[in-house]
Amino acid sequence: MNTKEYENLLMKIEGSTIALVYVFEKDYTEGFQHYDPWKSDVISDWLRAIQELHCMPFILDVRTFAQKALNGSLPQIDYIVNLNAGTNNLSTLGLVPSICSFLNIPCIPANTETTIIGEHKRFSNLIATALHSNVPADTPSTMPNGIFRPINYGSSHGVQKGFPQKLPCDKYVYQQFIPGFDMTIPILYNPLNETLESLPPV
């Protein structure tokens, strides 16, 4: 795809309605609690990006989105940006993309299957291993120097050195500690050359 084709693609979505579905932090419903919801700065950045594309932003929280979607009172929506993140319950992360699939509305950044598999550390480790990436070896819980990581949390939430307590094995991974430093390398899709490109490490 060349630059002109990319510009034409962006022009085709001008005037679209793009819904931002975010987490209302004071929603304390059991099963819908969040340890790390997106803050207003992230929501604001998305709103600005939508307006820069000459599209109409429509913002609502997850509960309102679900209720309106299921009772048929949503306005016409062309795309949905899912900002439901950081839930204590991994299955809850699939709520917004599942509803989007039901309504046949494209959902950014991913569908339910990709979201759950990518967030589930056991599954993501298996995928990384199958793709020949180096993954720390599983370690018995009796080993004091392992790294304990809850299956469903991100942003290093709940990570600690040593095994904290007896838990069902489907709730965590306990892996070998590897000395060094932690680094994140963002990878974005470049539509101009149709490849994945890495950004500077954080």
Q: Give the pLDDT confidence of 69-120 residue by residue, as tens digits.
A: 999 999 999 999 999 988 888 888 899 999 999 999 999 999 999 989 988 9
Q: Taking the model in full, what pTM does it have?
A: 0.82
Q: Which residue ranges of the chain lie beneath pLDDT 70?
A: 28, 30-31, 168-169
Query: What pLDDT score was predicted for residue 143?
Result: 87
Query: What pLDDT score was predicted for residue 57?
Result: 95
| Partners of residue 197 on adjacent β-strands | 188
CA–CA gap between residue 105 and residue 112 (Å, rounded): 13
CA–CA gap between residue 107 and residue 87 (Å, rounded): 18
Contacts of 110 (CB under 8 A, 6+ apart): 82, 97, 118
